[in-house]
Chains A and B, each alone.
Chain A
Amino acid sequence: MTGFRGSQARTSTTEFAAVEGIFREEYGRLIASLVRRFGDIDIAEEAAGEALVTALEKWPEVGVPPNPGGWLTTTAGNRAIDRLRREKLRDGKHQAAEMIHDDTPHEPTGIITDDRLRLIFTCCHPALAPEARIALTLRLMGGLTVAEIASAFLVQETTMGQRITRAKTKIKGAKIPYRVPSAEDLPERVGAVLAVLLLIFNEGYLSASDGDPVRADLTGEAIRLARILHELLPDDRETTGLLAMLLLTESRRAARVRHGELVPLDEQDRGGWDRALIAEGHALVRECLAANRPGRYQILAAVNAVHTDAPSAADTDWSQVAALYDQLVRLDPSPIVALNRAVAIAELDGPEVALAQVDRLPLSGYHAWHATRADLLRRLGRSAEARQEYDAALACCDNTAERAYLTRKRGELV
Chain B
Amino acid sequence: MTQYLLTVHGSEEENAKVPEDQWPVMFAAVEAFNEQVRADGVWVFAGGLEGAETATVVDNSGDSPVFTDGPYLETKEHIGGFWIIDVPDLDAALKYAAAGSKACQGKVEVRPFQAEPPAA
- Give the most central of A91, A125, A173, A175: most B CB within 10 Å: A175
Confirm or deny: A127 has a beta carbon within 8 angstroms of a beta carbon on chain B: yes
Asked if B118 and A127 make an inter-chain contact with CB atoms under 8 angstroms apart, the answer reads no
Confirm or deny: B91 has a beta carbon within 8 angstroms of a beta carbon on chain A: yes
What is the 8 Å Cβ interface bit string for chain B, positions 72-97, against chain A (1 contact, 0 not)? Answer: 00000000000000001111001000
Q: Which residues of A contact B10 (CB under 8 A)?
A: none
Confirm or deny: A174 has a beta carbon within 8 angstroms of a beta carbon on chain B: yes
B109 CB to nearest chain A CB (Å): 12
Residue in chain B with minimal CB distance to A92: B118
Confirm or deny: B68 has a beta carbon within 8 angstroms of a beta carbon on chain A: no
Confirm or deny: B112 has a beta carbon within 8 angstroms of a beta carbon on chain A: yes
Query: How far is A173 from B112 in the complex, measured between Cα atoms in Å?
Result: 7
Confirm or deny: B15 has a beta carbon within 8 angstroms of a beta carbon on chain A: no
Confirm or deny: B56 has a beta carbon within 8 angstroms of a beta carbon on chain A: no
Asked if B118 and A176 make an inter-chain contact with CB atoms under 8 angstroms apart, the answer reads no
B110 CB to nearest chain A CB (Å): 8
Query: How far is A394 from B91 in the complex, measured between Cα atoms in Å?
Result: 44
Q: Which residues of B contact A175 (CB under 8 A)?
A: 2, 88-90, 112
Confirm or deny: A88 has a beta carbon within 8 angstroms of a beta carbon on chain B: no
Asked if B118 and A177 make an inter-chain contact with CB atoms under 8 angstroms apart, the answer reads no
How many residues on the A side are at the interface (Cβ–Cβ under 8 A)? 13
Residue in chain B with minimal CB distance to A176: B90
Confirm or deny: A350 has a beta carbon within 8 angstroms of a beta carbon on chain B: no
Query: How far is A176 from B93 in the complex, measured between Cα atoms in Å?
Result: 10
CB under 8 Å from chain B, chain A span 163-216:
173-177, 179, 181, 185
Q: Which residues of A contact B112 (CB under 8 A)?
A: 173-175
Q: Which residues of B contact A181 (CB under 8 A)?
A: 91
Q: Which residues of A contact B90 (CB under 8 A)?
A: 125, 127, 174-177
B58 CB to nearest chain A CB (Å): 28
A189 CB to nearest chain B CB (Å): 9
Asked if A91 and B118 make an inter-chain contact with CB atoms under 8 angstroms apart, the answer reads yes
**Contacts A90-B118, A92-B118; is A177 near B89 (CB within 8 Å)?**
yes
Query: How far is A173 from B113 in the complex, measured between Cα atoms in Å?
Result: 9
B77 CB to nearest chain A CB (Å): 21
Residue in chain A with minimal CB distance to B111: A174
Query: How far is A179 from B88 in the complex, measured between Cα atoms in Å?
Result: 12
Subset of 18 A-B contacts with CB under 8 Å: A91-B118, A92-B118, A125-B90, A127-B90, A174-B110, A174-B111, A174-B112, A175-B2, A175-B89, A175-B90, A175-B112, A176-B89, A176-B90, A177-B89, A177-B90, A177-B91, A179-B91, A181-B91
Question: Residues of B at under 8 Å CB distance from A?
Answer: 2, 88-91, 94, 110-112, 118
Question: Residues of A at under 8 Å CB distance from B?
Answer: 90-92, 125, 127, 173-177, 179, 181, 185
Q: Pick the 9 closest A-B CB pairs, nearest first.
A: A91-B118, A177-B89, A175-B89, A174-B90, A174-B112, A176-B90, A175-B2, A175-B90, A177-B91
